[in-house]
Amino acid sequence: MSNKAHKNNLTAIKALDLQKWSVTFWLIKRYIANHEAHYSVLRVNTDAKLQKRLKGYVIDQLQGREFHLTEYDFNNADGDDTLFTITADATDFPKVEEAINAGFDNAIAKDYQELLNSWSYVVQLEHGSDRLYAWRKISTLTQPKKVQSRQATFFVEHKLMDVEDKEVFLIDPRFDFFVHGDLIFIANKKEFEISMNFREGMKAKAVEVIQNFNVSGHFKNVDLIQKHVGDNMHHLRKMASILKAGYYQQPHYIQRMIEVSKEEGWELKVEDGQIVVEEETIELLLKLLNNDRLRSPINNEVFDAAAKARVK
């Protein structure tokens, strides 16, 4: 789907009269098995006042502001006025939506203990067959069992009451991402990636890149890259970007990379036409494999730029 289509989708959302839509509040439970995330949902009854407030949060954040839309990339940096777009089927969200679609077959929360240890909450707005989802990852600040540590008190019937005497669930007015149709609008990239289990997906991409490096014959000591990347999200993000861009698979790219490195005095070690992976230069190597080292045509300065938008 083109960026123009994404903008049209957002324009259509902004035109919706969400105040007339019905609201359902869902708690999302998650567990991991064999590196795959599994989800279940719990329906939570809400009163009319809270439903109005939830709709207000969605309207304020999604309809009340102007956004710059850009396609999600592993190296995007969050910005207050930016929404990143990605198709829902590239994420775990269809699993959650399938569970929500069971509707009244899902259990209703009847006990405060059922609210504890939830993964996230979803506000579902619905009008006929049209649905809009707003997702918020539960953090240490909003997790019910953690609220006591914030030393909150309530003023009820002319007296302050300790929070330990209340069963509290905090709701944040900001959402991490929104889903409409088959498109996701991401407001908080970090929480989106955590919510949708992107670390495991990036691990798989890193393994694929390492395998490609071994097969190519262009590298020695590839195992050092695997050790360097490990479980580090920043490094996994870089490997996923290298795979997506695919420069290293282009004819002559590696050879040209070696030649330019020598011309520029970059410290890549090369033996018998192969790049020797060294701990000291792994970061440089990953930058070059992702074509991150760029030169300005204006003043000839060289920059490292991970997030690249190609000029068309």
Residue 302 confidence (pLDDT): 84
Q: Which two tokens stand for residue 179?
A: 């889903």
Name, in order, each residue with C-beta under 8 angstroms of 242's C-beta and a sequence gap of 6 or more: 209, 248, 286, 289, 290
Average pLDDT, the chain: 88
The predicted pLDDT at position 149 comes to: 52
Span 141-162, average pLDDT: 57
- C-alpha–C-alpha distance, residues 154 and 162, integer Å: 7
The SS3 call for residue 204 is: helix
Alpha-carbon radius of gyration of the chain: 24
Residue 312 has pLDDT above 80, yes or no: no
Three-state SS sequence of 241-274? HHHHHCHHHCCCHHHHHHHHHHHHCCCCEEECCE
- Examine the pLDDT at 117 and tell me if it is beyond 70: yes
pLDDT of residue 132: 98
Angle at 256 between CA 254 and CA 259, to 5 degrees: 115
Q: Which positions ≥6 away from 123 have C-beta within 8 Å?
A: 23, 24, 25, 26, 54, 57, 58, 133, 134, 136, 175
Q: Which two tokens stand for residue 26?
A: 């869902």
Considering only 95-99, 125-129, 169-173, which range has the smallest mean pLDDT? Answer: 169-173
pTM of the model: 0.81
Strand partners, 108: 43
* pLDDT of 174 higher than 70: yes
In this prediction, what percent of the chain has a pLDDT beyond 90?
A: 63
Instruction: Tell me the per-residue pLDDT of 63-92, one tens digit each, with 9 for 90 and over.
Output: 998 999 999 988 877 777 899 999 999 999
Residue 303's pLDDT band (boundaries 50, 70, 90)?
confident
Dist CA 290 CA 249 (whole Å):
11
What tokens were used for 29? 């439970």
